[in-house]
Amino acid sequence: MPSGTIKVNKPPPQPIIGPPPKSTKYKGVKHTIMVMSGKGGVGKSTVSVNLSVTLAKKYKVGLIDADINGPDDPKMLGVSDAEITAKDNQIIPVSSKYGVDVISMAFLLPTEDTAVIWRGALRHKAIQQFLEEVAWGERDFIILDMPPGTGDEGLTVAQLVPEVEGVIIVVTPQDVALLDAKKAINFAKQMEIPVLGIVENMSGFVCPHCGETVDIFKRGGGEEAAKKYGVPFLGRIPLIPEVVANSDDGIPSASSNEIVAKAFDGITEKLIEAIGKKKK
């Protein structure tokens, strides 16, 4: 057996650098809400888009697709072929027929299948531009569709936005939802951002033939997570084949499917209630 000591080189001491100053250019927005998940594949973009469409029935809403690597929101809103324009040195967000204006890396890529291979500094700059160099004007809500996990983009938003209203966490019904939710909750806690609530997606498969609901992914993981960590449970969204087809066709299901629309109406109502309680 080899013997001896292992010498580990210590890195030189690093200066303590605090977070960047809050943005003075991002203004006029009443409520900025981050939609997050502890992992990918839980339907976070679906929730972001349909939540935005539901809010837009009563409010002025903007949507920032902050997922630099996987910008899907324009396709879900049916505006993936739109072109970005600018006026008075500001980017004009793309308008959709659902009352939601959106900005996304998808509009800036030469082709739909172009890979974005960027380090953290470039990601930070892109998100900063989406916040500060887009003509949002006076808005009731800006919804930020964050990438999976708790990386650079979330940190950028938390540090730049003068006052993030809160975080919505999207989970699936399995027991592992507790683990995924905890990561996002810890992120929000460390960034001193309120958790507005948890949304349980894919909560029961609704058969398109007989209408029966089957709990393929179990049921109740999101609600259990909300109770365990003391945050609001905003509601659950059923798994309906039509939602997948609509997303591919650029039709938010909250605007076309009665069951999904009802679910998002309830989630929106509880979200507004949570914001009201936070203000007291």
Sheet strands (E) in 17-136: 29-36, 61-65, 85-87, 90-92, 94-95, 100-104
Q: What digits encode the pLDDT tens for the residues 225-247?
A: 899 899 999 999 988 888 888 88
Q: What predicted TM-score, i.e. pTM, was given to this entire model? A: 0.89
Written as six digits, the tokens of 227 are: 């109770």
CA angle (198 as vertex; 160, 143 as ends), nearest 5:
40
Residue 228, C-beta contacts closer than 8 angstroms, at least 6 positions apart: 178
Q: Distance (Å, rounded) from C-alpha 190 to C-alpha 54?
A: 30
**30 burial class (0-12, 13-18, 19+ CB within 10 angstroms)?**
middle
Superfamily classification of domain 29-279: P-loop containing nucleotide triphosphate hydrolases (3.40.50.300)
Q: How confident is the model at residue 135 (pLDDT cuts 50, 70, 90)?
A: very high
Q: What digits encode the pLDDT tens for the residues 35-63?
A: 998 778 888 999 999 999 999 999 999 99
Q: Do residues 167 and 194 lie in contact, with contact meaning Cβ atoms separated by under 8 Å?
A: yes
